Amino acid sequence: MARSRRRLAAAVFLLVLAACTGTAGRPSPGTGTAGTPAGSGSAAPGGLRAVRHVWVIELENQGYAQSFGTPSADPYLARTLPQMGALLQNYYAIGHSSADNYVAEISGQAPDIATQSCQYLLGADGGRRVAGLTGIEYEGLGVITQTATLHVSADFSPWARDPDVLIRWIHSPQAGVLVVMVPMGPERWGPASEEWVIHLNYPVDDPRAQSDAQVEADARQALGIPDLPMKIHKITRWSVEAVIASAFRAGRVFLLGDAAHRHPPTGGLGLTSAIHDAQNLCWKLALVLAGQASPALLDTYQAERRPVDERNAQRSLENAVNHFTIGAALGLSHENTPEQNMAQLRRMWSGRPEDATHRSAVLRAMRAQSMEFNELNVEYGYCYQSAAVVPDGSAAPAPADDIRVYQPSTRPGAPLPHAWIDDEDGNRRPVKDLVAPGRFLLIAGEDGHAWCEAARQLAEEADVPLDVLRIGHLDGDYHDPRCDWQSHRQIASDGAILVRPDRFIAWRYPAAASDPRAVLTAALSQILGRRPFAQPGPAGS
């Protein structure tokens, strides 16, 4: 898990420049003119057809990216970056917008000093600079603890015996602190892992966190391993924050990922949110730059993502706080002596009647921690509300548990439910794979020919990237022998669902319509912010 997260952290983007007006090779100095405003449809140099999408990925800086070595040595990057047309340079954003907010400039390092103009700047720098340069402020609790992380090689197998445990939270009677241990492989995982990270949480501004010798001493004391051979590769410090940007957009600058929200890692929602931010924004940006959507579509980024990210931040905080609730319920404190802490711990297995209530309270607090590892409805059960979603008047589903139980739905705004379907030859695939990158997909029931015909016409006449298909048990372009899709689709056999390029439901219609072309035109013109939309064809309305 940690390895894939590291891959993604670097691969998603460090700085994503959209619509750069320079060239895709080594940037030429002084290409400092603003690109043609999106949507103008100009084919002139510097206009839309001259636009290149350049992903600038900075690999020199510290952090996870450092673990990769060279990009060619990492199979994921080697495969992915050429597909993205990546331009690998060590870039540093100076990231200021010009007065009219149309240009952001990026400076490379010597000898490749260059500036690059772009129509839109995506600030995905972990919150280091771009937000500050735009004047966007953060709301929330700020820094709540500081963590010192030791990356070590050591043999913990005599203690870490259970191979099913991924992350170990250890309430140490010696130090009265919470220690978190995560195996890091790289060859073996689980108890025999050769490398580990050990996190120690300190109060904000605690000077002990700044001394390597003290951090090592605290780790050894907390784990009771005064003499265990342990090679320390690195000790890093990072702050646990709980903040969210007051706005995700300032003019043509967007904030994504940790630049927009930073919360405790408990629950693993940080990179999850970052990827969903990028997934939400990039198709919109692509359509706007291609002249297929109005720039108004970009306003839906904040409307859709900020409420979700706010909830993710809140959940992450609750997950973190619950760890300390367990410690408090156990009666552990760094102000106690080790003997006092040990006496508190013994109450858990004393078997004495007078400890029964105490034990129940601790076990209840531990059960509450299960939310951190089982929060599917937080991760996937949210429903966007914005102009890029056409509501159908249906009520939001009421899951059996708001955090843990995800209830698939095709209600507009919800993510496309998973279902296995078959092609004509019986090859099985998930329905999500039918949504092509950057394209809408209309999924009709087996009797939804009229929807398909209307959608095909509209796609062609109004230049909408829209694919069309029918799914049914006996008839259709794809088949549903297990009734997997049918049990989720929530439309009749002559209804239809419109899926956005990010695989969220944009619109649905429960059955046949008397004028499907007009209904689809209204829906797509709202979603794309294109009013009026295509001129109705003679057959259509």
Q: Which two tokens stand for residue 438?
A: 């950057």
State the minimum distance, in angstroms, from the CB of residue 60 to ligand FAD. 8
Residues 6+ apart with CB under 8 A from 322: 365, 368, 369, 371, 372
Instruction: Closer to ligand FAD by CB, 12 or 289: give it.
Output: 12
CA distances, 404 to each of 113, 373, 375 (Å): 50, 9, 4
**Cis check: omega of the bond before 532, within 30 degrees of 0:** yes
Burial of 45 (C-beta count, 10 Å sphere; 0-12/13-18/19+): exposed
Q: How many CA atoms lie within 13 A of 414 on its CB side?
A: 22
- Minimal CA–CA distance to 63: which of 211, 276, 209, 257? 257
State the minimum distance, in angstroms, from the CB of residue 55 to ligand FAD. 12
State the minimum distance, in angstroms, from the CB of residue 15 to ligand FAD. 5
Count CB atoms within 10 A of the CB of residue 364.
Answer: 12
End-to-end CA distance of the chain: 52
State the minimum distance, in angstroms, from the CB of residue 483 to ligand FAD. 34
3-state class of 46 per DSSP?
Answer: coil
Residue facing ligand FAD at closest CB distance: 257
Instruction: Closer to ligand FAD by CB, 125 or 195: give it.
Output: 125
Q: Which two tokens stand for residue 88?
A: 């690998």
Instruction: Closer to ligand FAD by CB, 271 or 524: give it.
Output: 271
Instruction: Closer to ligand FAD by CB, 322 or 521: give it.
Output: 322
Instruction: Closer to ligand FAD by CB, 91 or 509: give it.
Output: 91
**Cis check: omega of the bond before 71, within 30 degrees of 0:** no
Instruction: Closer to ligand FAD by CB, 145 or 341: give it.
Output: 145
State the minimum distance, in angstroms, from the CB of residue 105 to ligand FAD. 12
Instruction: Closer to ligand FAD by CB, 381 or 412: give it.
Output: 381
State the minimum distance, in angstroms, from the CB of residue 199 to ligand FAD. 6
Tokens 């949110």 locate to: 273
Instruction: Closer to ligand FAD by CB, 245 or 441: give it.
Output: 245
State the minimum distance, in angstroms, from the CB of residue 14 to ligand FAD. 4
State the minimum distance, in angstroms, from the CB of residue 484 to ligand FAD. 28
Contact 322, 369 (CB under 8 A): yes
Tokens 């090779």 locate to: 25
Instruction: Closer to ligand FAD by CB, 71 or 495: give it.
Output: 71
DSSP for 464-500, please give it. Answer: --EEEEEEESSSSSEE-TT-TTHHHH-S-TT-EEEE-
CA distances, 526 to each of 184, 366, 493, 503, 529 (Å): 48, 47, 25, 18, 5
Q: Which two tokens stand for residue 68?
A: 């990769």
Q: Which residues bind ligand FAD (CB under 6 A)?
A: 5, 9, 12, 14-15, 58, 61, 63, 65, 91-93, 124-126, 128-129, 238, 257-259, 265, 268-272, 274
State the minimum distance, in angstroms, from the CB of residue 65 to ligand FAD. 5
